[in-house]
Structure 1
Amino acid sequence: MGTDNSAGARIGVDVPDARGRVELDREGRDLVRNARVRILGVEVLASDWHVLRKTTYEYTRLDGSRSIEHRETYDRGNGATVLLYDLEHRTVLLVRQFRYPAYVNDHADGMLLEAPAGLLDEDDPATAIRREAEEETGVTIGSLEHVLTAYMSPGSVTEVLYFYAAPYTDADRSGRGGGLRSDGEDLEVTELRFDDALAGIRRGDIVDAKTIMLLQWAALEGPFASGS
């Protein structure tokens, strides 16, 4: 995927890829924030939708010796997620969807229960998660609380995920949800008792990391924490 057949031109580097992008090999070349790391080269391996790069760098180890390292990084952009909760009825609103990577890696059917989430695209995190929550669950978010920010798989994926929480009531459910069919989304909106959702983590019914993190935050220091 990294090379075009026309005179050796490289897709996403010398000529536009499917999304019109070029010079994707420039990402990271100018990094100088860490004096122990010197970037030597960046190669685009694939850019069909998101971007897979192979970066070569010189790394100064703790003992002062230097080594040449190679790392593949998957750049899918940054994202945001939200835990929608109804404090009065002690419920949370999740979505169930098919996840092929989980399916191919031993999950029974690939159908995962998750907190609503999506990529930022060109929006700020709060705007993006309001958009995604409405598309996926039909809920129009009012007040929104930032919970935390985390790198979800820093060994290989560049994504930063912004975590939020927001209350909802029946009055906030202005649409059907289910995601955008034009984007290939096919989501089942699922309302669960909060205690059942927590138990679902222990049973292995909820195995999505961002959802587990939000549910445990809600139990430990969020809206369902004892004494809150």
Structure 2
Amino acid sequence: MPSRVEIIEKVIAYKKFFFKLEEARFKHELYNGEMSDELLRLNLERGDSAAVVMYDTAKDSVILTEQFRYPTYEKGPGWILEIPAGTIEKSENRDPTVTLRREIMEEIGYSTRALRHICTFYVSPGGTSERIHLYYTQVSPKDKAAEGGGIIGEGEDIRVLTIKLAEALGMIAGGKIVDAKTIIGLQWLQLNRNRLQTR
């Protein structure tokens, strides 16, 4: 497998909030062993994120959030059903579990039990370096510790829904759940549900 990469130049073309657009000129090794011509590519750097599948084994239900996501507005639907997630902040030492405990309390209002890592994946490797660290946690109504709903000062208005797993999977098939991390997480749960319920 090719492994050599020659970075010629990297510049920040644009930066605002936590978004940074990087412009890079480079060469990379080809499968025939030679080096490519000089290439120009853009990379949207916005840091990594963490997301969690929250499953109530007794009720065979998952907890989802619904909130307005502007980038989806023009193509629809605008309001997106998702598993809880958030950007990993530098102050959290780039630890996804710290991020998730904060986000779960802010968005859902639940205290968190053990978090189990499922996988880490690139969101869209042709255009952004962002990765999502996907986790699983088991919950029950007794874990409810606060109202949730997001932070008003950050412009968040989050609806919390508890949905039967079968219904959520049907919403994927019916095109009502269109968020990739949520689809990946729920399909993982579908594959592992029986084993998790026997624990």
**Shared fold by TM > 0.5?**
yes
Provide the TM-score with structure 1 as the length reference: 0.80
Secondary structure of 1:53's counterpart equals: strand
**Where does residue 121 of structure 1 map in the other structure?**
89
Write the distance in 2 (CA, Å) between the matches of 1:226 and 1:184. Answer: 36
Shift of the 226–95 alpha-carbon distance from structure 1 to 2, 3 Å rule, reads closer
Number of residue pairs matched by the alignment: 192
- 1:126 maps to a residue whose letter is T
Choose 1 or 2 for highest CA Rg: 1
**Where does residue 150 of structure 1 map in the other structure?**
121
Q: Does residue 81 in structure 1 map to residue 51 in structure 2?
A: yes
Q: How far apart are 1:101 and its partner, in Å?
A: 1.3
Q: How far apart are 1:62 and its partner, in Å?
A: 2.3
> Does the aligned pair in 2 maintain the 1:219–1:225 contact within 8 Å?
no
Q: Does residue 169 in structure 1 map to residue 140 in structure 2?
A: yes
> Does the aligned pair in 1 maintain the 2:57–2:196 contact within 8 Å?
no
Greater helix share, structure number:
2
Write the distance in 1 (CA, Å) between the matches of 2:99 and 2:4. Answer: 35
Cα deviation code 1:35-91 (max 9, x no counterpart): 521001112111111111111102232232531111110111111000111110111
Shift of the 73–84 alpha-carbon distance from structure 1 to 2, 3 Å rule, reads same
Using the TM superposition, name which of 151-160 and 193-202 deviates more.
151-160
Counterpart selection for 1:190 from 133, 154, 161? 161
CA RMSD of aligned residues (A): 1.7
The runs of 5 or more residues in structure 2 that have no matched partner are none
Where relative contact order (Cα < 8 A, 6+ residues apart) is larger, the structure is: 2
The runs of 5 or more residues in structure 1 that have no matched partner are 1-33
Secondary structure of 1:67's counterpart equals: coil
The sequence identity of aligned pairs, in percent, is 34
What does 1:94-113 align with in structure 2 at a 5 Å threshold? 94-104=64-74, 106-107=75-76, 109-113=77-81
> Does the aligned pair in 1 maintain the 2:27–2:35 contact within 8 Å?
no
Greater strand share, structure number:
2
> Does the aligned pair in 1 maintain the 2:96–2:133 contact within 8 Å?
yes
What does 1:56-71 align with in structure 2 at a 5 Å threshold? 56-63=25-32, 64-71=34-41
Using the TM superposition, name which of 142-151 and 111-120 deviates more.
142-151
Write the distance in 2 (CA, Å) between the matches of 1:226 and 1:177. Answer: 26
- 2:127 maps to a residue whose letter is S
Write the distance in 2 (CA, Å) between the matches of 1:115 and 1:89. Answer: 17
> Does the aligned pair in 2 maintain the 1:96–1:111 contact within 8 Å?
yes
Provide the TM-score with structure 2 as the length reference: 0.91
- 1:52 maps to a residue whose letter is L
